Structures are given as structure tokens and as C-alpha cells.
Structure 1
Amino acid sequence: MAVRRERFWLTRDSRETTVAASPEVVYDLVADLPRMGEWSPECVRVEWTGGATGPAVGATFVGHNRTGPRGVIRWSRRGRVLAADRGREFAFVTEEGGRESTEWRFRLEAVDGGTRVTESYDVHWLPVGFRVIDVPLNRFGDLQGAMDRTLARLGAAAESAAASTDGSADVRTERVEEVR
């Protein structure tokens, strides 16, 4: 997916990596949204809502995030699962002001030696106030770095899970707190 920047703010981007684990192992980790904070440097935690207990199309959740210098910018967003196709794709959209805001997608493709994982986002709508801070906070660069770290952490956990004797994806990683 090509980067498209309009009027000095980000709208869409993607990053990818290859992981030495099966697409099913990778999916089981990334679709376990309450664990997203183990992979993403921006995500603090996620809770399923509305009776949802796991990844299914239409399942809802609330995600709590932070960014900026020393993590001082904090926000929470409601979201909904758009795709939950084990071993192939997991996607969700967040909401802002009652509107669909940003769509996040993890595509998984079996390749020699494991799985190609592509993480992408597509911003549908954000309030003008959020757009104003895109440029001075370098959200474009921050999100690229965050996606790279997310994929690296997810990959390490998936490879560890794949190497375990039972193939279980229940490997917990220690979250490294970063000061930016």
C-alpha cells in the first residue's frame, strides 16, 4: 500500500515483516486485542465491550492509548472488528465523535519460512483539532516507528510460540516501557 499524504497530514500507510511462524499462530496473537498493548508501543490496554469475549466480526471494544513526549497525550477510542479470518486477516475500525475514524488491518500470507505480516491503517475521518497536531507531532513518523515496533514484538512472540513444544500462542512478552 502506497503512502498517501494530503494537505500535510497522514491518511494511510503500511509496514510489513516476515515471521517464522504459521499464519494461525500470528493471527491468534494479533486478534487477541486485550494483548495488543504487548505489541503496540501506543496501546496501553484494550477491553472487549458489549458482551464480546473475543475476535468476531462486529465485536466491540475500547482501546486506551498514549503517545507524544513521555506519553503525555492519552486517549481512548471505541472500536469494532471488521474482519476476523483466522490465519488470513484481522481488521478493526476505531470511532471518533460517533464516526468511523481509523481502520487498522493485519493481513497474513503464508510464505516460505513463515508468514508475511502486513499492518496498515487508513484514516477515514479525524476532527480538525487532531489534524492540526499531525505535523508538529510528526504523527506520520511516529506511526511508522510504532508499526515497526508492533511487528517486531508480535513477530518475536509468534516465533516463540511456534517454537514451543505444543505450538501454543499463549506466550507472554514483557512490555518494554519507552521514553520518547
Structure 2
Amino acid sequence: MDETSVVVNATPDEVWALASDITRMGEWSPECTGGAWRGGATGPVVGARFVGFNRHGRIRWRTHCRVIESVPGKAFAFTVLESAMTWGFRIEPIEGGTQLSEWRERTGALAVPAKLFAGTGLLGRDREGMMVDGMTRTLERMKAELETR
């Protein structure tokens, strides 16, 4: 599992509202360009499905995701069908603000093939390192958004 964290001067509810808004993720992520709820879903509830839109250089792709955890002010997580990856945000009140953590973990039967594909160089030589760096950049941008409100 990979994880990165940042301390934000905002309430846990404000942080959760931002982290769980998949339609705006493209504003912060260096690779995800946004998302759209599907199947009648209109927000982050367990079982809701969405499509994530991504780009890396000239390569563009979609991911099909399902929300597996959604606790206002505490946590938001989803699985990505194509990559056998679970992504999530943990939100914890701490002295001086809120700690926002983003994590990712490969799961399920597709975990080994997905990890092998990640090492092909198609999306970069050190794909795993790029993903962790992207998580760090995403959290820093989310922090800036929350603290300028």
C-alpha cells in the first residue's frame, strides 16, 4: 500500500466534501481529469458507480469505479475495475487542523497483471513512483484549495 498525507487548515467535513467530489478531481490531480456519476448516482454513497477520466501525455483512458466507503468527515474510498486498485482518502481531526491522507492498494485477482503492466514503461518508466508523486501533488493542491476559501 502507498499512502501520503498533508495537514489542512479546514474542518473534517470541508475536507471530506472536497475529497469525495469525483467531478472536481481533475482540478487537483496531475493525471485524473475528472469523473462522472453513472447509473443514477448523484454523489458519494457506498455502491455508487462512476467513470474516471484520465490522461498521461497524449494517452487518455477511462476507469470504471465503485464507491466502497463513504463516511462524511472521515473516509472516502473506491475500487477501479480495470486496475485492481483501491483508492481512498482518510480524514482525521488533529490539533491545528485536519490530516488528509490519500492511499492506494492493489487488490484482487488482477493485482499481479496490473502491476506487471505498470512496469512496461507505456505510462512511464517508474509508474509506481509517479503514482505516489501524483498523490502528493493532489493533496497539496487540495490543501491550497481548502485554505484559500
Identify whether the pair has TM-score above 0.5, normalized to the shorter chain. yes
Structure label with greater radius of gyration: 1
| Contact 2:38/2:49 (<8 A) preserved | yes
Counterpart of 2:87 in structure 1 is 104
1:33-52 matches, within 5 Å, as 33-52=22-41
TM superposition shift of 1:66: 1.6
Measured in 1, the distance between the counterparts of 2:10 and 2:118 equals 38
TM superposition shift of 1:160: 2.0
Task: State the superposition RMSD in angstroms.
Answer: 1.7
TM superposition shift of 1:74: 2.1
Q: Unaligned 5+ residue runs, structure 1?
A: 1-11, 162-180
TM-score (norm 1): 0.75
Counterpart of 2:12 in structure 1 is 23
Q: Report the number of matched residues.
A: 144
Counterpart of 1:156 in structure 2 is 144
| Contact 1:57/1:83 (<8 A) preserved | yes
Counterpart of 1:61 in structure 2 is 50
User: 1:127/1:66 Cα in 2 relative to 1: closer, same or farther (>3 Å)?
Assistant: farther
Measured in 1, the distance between the counterparts of 2:129 and 2:10 equals 28
Counterpart of 2:128 in structure 1 is 140
TM-score (norm 2): 0.89
Task: Determine helix, strand or coil for the equivalent of 1:157.
Answer: helix
Measured in 2, the distance between the counterparts of 1:24 and 1:86 equals 6
User: 1:73/1:134 Cα in 2 relative to 1: closer, same or farther (>3 Å)?
Assistant: farther
Task: Determine helix, strand or coil for the equivalent of 1:52.
Answer: coil
- Residues 8-49 of structure 1: CA deviation (Å, up to 9, x unaligned): xxxx21101101111110100111110011111110120000
Q: Unaligned 5+ residue runs, structure 2?
A: none
